[in-house]
Structure 1
Amino acid sequence: MKYSSFKEYLNVEKERILDKCIACGKCIEVCTNVKAFNLNEEQVKSLPKKLLNALSGNELSDLVFQWVFGCNHCGRCLHVCPEELDPLIFNNILKTEFLNQGNKRASMVRDHMLDPNSGGFKRTIDIINRLQMQPSEARWLSRIPENPNPVEAVLFLGCNGLLRPDIALSLIDIMDMIGINYVALGGTGFCCGMPAQMIGEVEESEKYMRNLIESLLALKPRTVLYACAECLYVTARIAPNIMDIPFKQDSIIKFIADHLDHLQFKHPQSLEVTFHDSCAHGRLWGDYESPRKILKAIPGVKLVEMKHIRQDAPCCGGTGEMFFPGKGKDLKKMRMEEAKETGAKELVTICAGCELSYLKWEGDKPFGITNIISLLAKSLGIEREHALEPFFSSKDMEGVLEKFITNIESSKYSKDDYRMTLGRFIGVQSKEK
């Protein structure tokens, strides 16, 4: 069934939850928030009914706020509900309730995420991308051309993809090697709407969602390949409830895994690696094998699995930390210890958020953190560096600014803009007084 709007879809889901939820608490039992927020037995026991009461418009308590805005969107709860309800949708509806009732904390979260004057996500992405590259170096569309020719595929880089221009450019190189008729599209002008969805901004989320789908339709693709699994979740799981989507959709990781025979490996890596399953590509999209297929295809790479993998893999904790800093430390510590136990020299990720979360870990880390596309590209003879990686450990703000001074001086942002954004993004503090 198609709904007229995202709001109508959520309203129908709200009524379905109120009608069917039996407050059994199974979704809460599997949630890492219980430990992260140190909830006691009484709080855990009372939470299902508190959440249902809040959904009815009553009792929007601090505990409920903490629970829904601290959600990691990891999907551990998706397959445990005996009534086949979606706890992630439940949480998003509750976020909307907080906003609609004028909750100050919810409004602060919204401003933090969306308001460019207070460091919204679009501005952050633009600054971090601009720090690392000149606009002339981009090899993707940042606007839709008039009357474009139909293409076999669109490689959608999303917003987060531009935080790592080296990854975006390497993906384009790999697509060129595979040799299909495609175009690459990316930038904050084509946001999928997930950031707005995460803070309960229903109408804003729909606006982004529709703009993205309409932009993709204008390029006349048979298939859209997403570099970001969160974008894929939105466009393939949420958007079809309110829009007709005639093209096929999949992750770029799956596409590459299916076309490995088109790639010529030039540089064996002689490397033991371990792999972290991201929540979005794993539990939300259901693809655990494609990344492993890629890793096993790289000459010289040996995959050593951690204790908890696939559907049992822990979340990196990064999403919840956007609103509750430090909340994910136990999840990160657990993953770092599991990775260390494997003896691997690299922890491989496929998600920009997971990689950022682990790069910021300041505890014992006797291995590198690398994106699967970086490792694949290197084995194919594509040499690009993650320009910011050294500064996660050195914490040398002035070193960052000095390295990228040419890009900084030719951009519309001031040096102070870069200082402030980098301080939030990678936890680097300036040495200037």
Structure 2
Amino acid sequence: MQLDNISFETAVQTRVDEMVDACTRCGKCVEACPSVKPAGLADTAPADIIGGILDILRDGQGPDASRKWAQACTLSGECITACDEGVNPRFLLAMARVATAKANHDLPARRRQGLEKYRDLGRDVSVLSQLQVNDEVLARLGQKSAAAAAPGEPPDFVFYTGCNVLKTPHIALLALDIMDTLGIGYQVMGGPSHCCGVVQMRPGDLEMSGRMGTNSIDKLSHSKSGEVISWCPSCYVQYTETTLPALERQRGARPFEMTPFMRFLGQRLDQLTPHLHEAVPMRVALHRHPGVAGVMEAATKILGAIPGITIVDLKQPALGLQGVNLSVLPEFKRELTLNELEAARNAGIDALVTVYHSEHRELCAHERDWPFRIVNLLELVGESMGLKRHDRYKELKMMQDADQIVADCADLLAHHAIDAAKARDVVIKGMLADQPLPLQAGERLT
């Protein structure tokens, strides 16, 4: 449905209102949610919790239990499949958080917070990526003006990195290497200049979120296929559940469809398999987050197609959109992480395999203390294909010393003209502090 001359916020609110009207308050979404128990809400009636969410969506006010549920959302997505009415409870919880922020803070305060978060993100992504790679590699990752310019001939696909995967550039580079080997034509876009708007939405600045997201969508909308391959799950949810539906209401059509990279690769498994010619004799376990439908299933299929790989089920719960989203329940997250590491040790695996970048950053330094490797899935795919990218992020983080890390990156610091004190601050706050479960030995620099 197209609504002529409406703002982004109005388009979003219209969709919220339709879902609020469709919701029957049955509580099935609450019953399915894995955050309810660790958030301390197990004794509250599910119908009361979702009913309070609807109240928050109407006027920004609601019971404590409902606000607590909204804040404890890890974006696992179980609520979506549990609903029989076509409502997306995950989207409603995001909008409830926006409504609460609007009720508690005026627009200038919300805008300042969004701007500060955006600047912090840009600083961390820029510095941590430049500590690891040179200008040529950054250009390949779409981070230089010449690489970001729209080509004369539209690409078959746009590969959208998002922002934070650039902190672990070896993962993004392996995705590009794999597509090159398969003969897939693409253009890379991403980084803070192609922000999805989630950083602005979280503090409740929906207008700026829409402005940033729509601007990026317009940049992404020029592939021959009409398909954008996305890496970041947070960006995927932001675009597919908020920005693209709102833009469709504003303009009458979606400019493209978005497909997560693992699903994209899984759909081409017959094309990929002949290139998996080197055996990788390892017993591995997959670190799983099910928030984007079909991604973990595709990852399992891809991993299982690598000759020599034996997949071990650690029988641990799979929760959240990605690792960072569990941070809203920090004690629960630490417990889950420790349980998985212990299960991996007891199972005698050779490697714990991550899919996304955020949990790779959080988990990789644990390799120092446990008898197995921490690797990304694309590293194993690449190894079988004869493709190699060094995990410099893990190498640096395992040093656990900001001064040593900065000294070890001195050549690239000079190359990029980055002040050593600035780099040290980013390393402390953006790398070493990104450690939800402390390492077993030694003290992190704070």
Asked if the contact 2:368–2:398 (Cα under 8 Å) also holds between the matched residues in 1, the reply is no
**SS in structure 2 of the partner of residue 313 of structure 1:** coil
Which residue does 1:127 correspond to in 2?
127
**Alignment CA distance shift 1:74-1:140 (3 Å):** same
RMSD: 3.3
Question: Could you state the TM-score of these two structures normalised by the residue count of structure 2?
Answer: 0.82
The CA distance in 2 between the partners of 1:241 and 1:339, in whole Å, is: 43
Q: Match of 2:149, as an amino acid?
A: P
Q: Is residue 321 of structure 2 the alignment partner of residue 318 of structure 1?
A: no
Aligned length: 422
Name stretches of at least 5 consecutive residues in structure 2 with no aligned partner. 434-442
2:258 alignment partner, one of 243, 249, 252? 249
The CA distance in 1 between the partners of 2:109 and 2:369, in whole Å, is: 37
Which residue does 1:417 correspond to in 2?
422
Asked if the contact 1:223–1:249 (Cα under 8 Å) also holds between the matched residues in 2, the reply is yes
**SS in structure 1 of the partner of residue 78 of structure 2:** coil
Which residue does 1:387 correspond to in 2?
392
Which residue does 1:294 correspond to in 2?
302
Which residue does 2:27 correspond to in 1?
25
Which residue does 1:41 correspond to in 2?
43
The CA distance in 1 between the partners of 2:8 and 2:294, in whole Å, is: 24
The CA distance in 2 between the partners of 1:362 and 1:50, in whole Å, is: 43
**SS in structure 1 of the partner of residue 313 of structure 2:** coil
The CA distance in 1 between the partners of 2:130 and 2:314, in whole Å, is: 36
Which residue does 1:81 correspond to in 2?
83
Q: Residues 200-256 of structure 1, C-alpha deviation per residue, up to 9 Å, x if partnerless?
A: 332222122212221122455543222223333344444044233354532222333
Q: Residues 93-128 of structure 1, C-alpha deviation per residue, up to 9 Å, x if partnerless?
A: 122222322449x958x76664168x6222221221
Name stretches of at least 5 consecutive residues in structure 1 with no aligned partner. none
Q: Is residue 183 of structure 2 the alignment partner of residue 195 of structure 1?
A: no
Asked if the contact 2:117–2:199 (Cα under 8 Å) also holds between the matched residues in 1, the reply is no
Q: Return 122-131 or 216-225, whichever deviates more.
A: 216-225
2:287 alignment partner, one of 262, 272, 276? 276
Compute the displacement of 1:430 (Å): 7.3
**Alignment CA distance shift 1:62-1:111 (3 Å):** farther
Question: Could you state the TM-score of these two structures normalised by the residue count of structure 1?
Answer: 0.84
Which residue does 1:181 correspond to in 2?
185
Q: How does 1:133-148 map to 2 (within 5 A)?
A: 133-138=133-138, 139-142=140-143, 143=145, 144-145=148-149, 148=152
Asked if the contact 1:272–1:303 (Cα under 8 Å) also holds between the matched residues in 2, the reply is yes
**Alignment CA distance shift 1:417-1:175 (3 Å):** same
Compute the displacement of 1:158 (Å): 2.0
The CA distance in 1 between the partners of 2:117 and 2:133, in whole Å, is: 21
The CA distance in 2 between the partners of 1:240 and 1:14, in whole Å, is: 11
2:217 alignment partner, one of 185, 193, 213? 213
The CA distance in 1 between the partners of 2:129 and 2:239, in whole Å, is: 24
**SS in structure 1 of the partner of residue 387 of structure 2:** coil
The CA distance in 2 between the partners of 1:163 and 1:45, in whole Å, is: 42
Percent identity over the alignment? 24
The CA distance in 1 between the partners of 2:355 and 2:207, in whole Å, is: 30
Q: Return 423-432 or 74-83, whichever deviates more.
A: 423-432
The CA distance in 2 between the partners of 1:363 and 1:85, in whole Å, is: 44
Q: Match of 1:346, as an amino acid?
A: A
Asked if the contact 1:34–1:44 (Cα under 8 Å) also holds between the matched residues in 2, the reply is no
The CA distance in 2 between the partners of 1:94 and 1:413, in whole Å, is: 40
Asked if the contact 2:59–2:99 (Cα under 8 Å) also holds between the matched residues in 1, the reply is yes
**SS in structure 1 of the partner of residue 325 of structure 2:** helix
Which residue does 2:354 correspond to in 1?
349
The CA distance in 1 between the partners of 2:151 and 2:44, in whole Å, is: 61
Q: Residues 159-188 of structure 1, C-alpha deviation per residue, up to 9 Å, x if partnerless?
A: 122111112222222221111332222322
